[in-house]
Structure formats: C-alpha cells, structure tokens
C-alpha cells in the first residue's frame, strides 16, 4: 500500500487523542467503574455517530464484515477497554500508556502462532528494545502500600494488550471494504450490546450508570467520549484504511511521546530522565519492528 499523508496524520492525531483521553478517563475512573466507563463511552459514541449517519446515510455492509468487526469490538473495545481502565486506575496515565508499547510485540507473537510468520532478527531485536525501555521506566522502588496495586496494574495492562493486538488484526480485515466511520460504529455497537447484556445478566448495569447522574461527571464523560470516538477510534480506522497495518500501528504507538508532556502540563507530574529515556528506547524498538 502506498504512502498516505492522510493516513499518517490520522494515526498521529489518534495517538495524541488516546494520550489525552487517558488523562480524562483517569478523572472519570475516580467515581465510576471500568465497565461503566466503557459502556458510557461507547454508548455516547454511538449517539455521536448516529447523528452523522442520519445526515449522510450508511451504506450496506455484508454479514461477514459485521461479524469480523463485531468480534473486534467485543474483544478490543469491550474487554480490552475494561482491562485498560483497570490498569489506568492502578498505574496512572503515564505508566499505562508506556506499557501499551508491548502491543506490537504481542502482535508479532500472534502472527507467529496463528499465521506461521517468521519475523526477522531485526524484529526480535526491536522487541527486546521495547521490553528494555519499559523495564527502565518501571524499574523503581514502589512504596509498600502501592506495590501490590502496581503489580495488578501491570497484569491488567498485559491482558488488555493481548486483547488489543488480536482486535487490530480483526479490524484490519473488517475495514477493508467499508468506510472507517462505519467500521467504528459497528465495533462500538457490538461492544455496547455485549456490555449491556453482561450488565443485565449480572444485575449490575444500574449501579454502573448511577455515577453519571451527576452533571459534572456527565459532562466529562461526554467530552471524553467525543475525544475517544472521533480522535481515537475513528482516526485509527482511517489510518488502517489508508496505510499498511504495520505502518499504522507504529505511528499509533507514538502515544507515549504525547503522554509525557500532557501529564507534565495537565497533571503537573514530574517527568524523570529515566522515564523519557525508557519511552524513547521502547519507541525505537517499535520502529525497528515495523520499519525494518
């Protein structure tokens, strides 16, 4: 697939949107559960996109595409989103985003197991760089009171990454024949349906939605959802449509380069030299994997 300026710009803006939204959702997560955040975010996103489709219309979509994107939505948006928000609440935006750089490595491993691919030595070297960079960021002494929480956050992040990597492969197949916004809508719809069914079956859906009765939190989730749906999900689908999956993924992995200045400016967190070096080393590993 040829180089596309639109695809590259979409991937970079998507990465920045994900970084910014992680800070917004960290605030929402102080009062709402991870499942509630995913359900509210996706539900509001469906409303936003539904308004656009009411004006522009939505083309026909074959059943195979619906099922493939549906599986991608359930795995990556619903389950992966819940695990991501759990990691976010345990680790904070900065560490959670940097941990997400493991995703390309997991994608490679899945390709080896499922598609019988054989990555080059350069790709494996890039994988080692990613782990080295993340280890450098995480190599610090956590206070006794937060050590257990940090370990849980790392586990949640690893599981979320596994779900995301698998959903990326499915999304690439599903978005090939339809517009990116329609693909985003289908993924979100399946995620909402899956979570709503789960919430109703367990009797927890009412408790999930109670926090959003507060006007301040409702405004925050509406704004956060706008950033995620149009900045994160939709633009990531645009990048996948106009770029090879490998190039789109490496550009979307620039998220840690945005989260560092965002946390410094918006959360007033101190960014250490070790964290900056670790993020750059890990990102260099991503570049080695996909731009070899």
Q: What is the mean pLDDT of the chain?
A: 82
Residue spans of alpha helices (H) in the chain? 5-28, 34-56, 63-72, 80-99, 103-115, 121-138, 144-174, 180-202, 205-209, 215-226, 235-242, 245-252, 255-266, 273-290
pLDDT, tens digit (0-9, with 9 covering 90-100), for 141-185: 556 566 778 888 889 988 998 898 888 778 877 777 788 788 889
Question: Could you tell me which of 219, 224, 267, 236 has the C-alpha nearest to residue 167?
Answer: 236
Q: How many structural domains does the chain have?
A: 1
Return the pLDDT at 71.
Answer: 94
As a whole number of angstroms, the distance between CA 157 and CA 65 comes to 28
Structural domain range at position 211: 5-290
pTM of the model: 0.76
Categorize the per-residue pLDDT at 93 as very low, low, confident or very high, splitting at 50, 70 and 90.
confident
Task: With beta carbons less than 8 A apart as the criterion, state whether 94 and 269 touch.
Answer: yes
Backbone angles phi, psi at 267, to 5 degrees: -105, -5
Q: What are phi and psi of 119, to 5 degrees?
A: -60, 150
Q: How many CB atoms lie within 10 A of CB 121?
A: 8
How many angstroms separate the CA atoms of 275 and 98, rounded?
A: 9
- Asked if residue 34 lies in contact with residue 112, where contact means CB atoms within 8 angstroms, the answer is no
């Amino acid at each position: 697939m040829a180089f596309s300026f639109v695809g590259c710009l979409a991937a970079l803006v998507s990465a920045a949107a994900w970084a910014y939204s992680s800070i917004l959702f960290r605030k929402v997560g102080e009062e709402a559960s991870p499942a509630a955040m995913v359900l509210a975010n996706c539900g509001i996103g469906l409303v936003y996109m539904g308004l656009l489709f009411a004006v522009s219309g939505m083309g026909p979509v074959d059943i195979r595409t619906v099922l493939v994107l549906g599986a991608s939505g359930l795995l990556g948006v619903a389950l992966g989103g819940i695990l991501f928000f759990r990691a976010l609440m345990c680790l904070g935006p900065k560490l959670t985003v940097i941990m997400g750089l493991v995703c390309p490595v997991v994608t490679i491993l899945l390709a080896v197991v499922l598609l019988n691919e054989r990555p080059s030595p350069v790709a494996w070297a890039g994988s080692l760089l990613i782990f080295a960079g993340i280890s450098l960021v995480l190599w610090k002494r956590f206070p006794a009171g937060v050590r257990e929480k940090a370990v849980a956050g790392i586990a949640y992040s690893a599981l979320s990454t596994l779900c995301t990597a698998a959903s990326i492969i499915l999304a690439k197949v599903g978005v090939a024949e339809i517009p990116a916004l329609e693909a985003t809508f289908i993924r979100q719809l399946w995620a909402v349906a899956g979570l709503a069914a789960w919430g109703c079956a367990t009797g927890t859906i009412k408790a999930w939605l109670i926090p959003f009765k507060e006007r301040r939190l409702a405004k925050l989730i509406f704004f956060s959802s706008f950033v995620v749906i149009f900045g994160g999900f939709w633009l990531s689908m645009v990048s996948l449509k106009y770029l090879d999956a490998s190039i789109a993924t490496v550009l979307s992995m620039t998220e840690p380069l945005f989260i560092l200045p965002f946390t410094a400016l918006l959360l007033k967190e101190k960014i250490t030299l070790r964290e900056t070096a670790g993020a750059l080393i890990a990102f260099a590993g991503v570049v080695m994997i996909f731009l070899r």
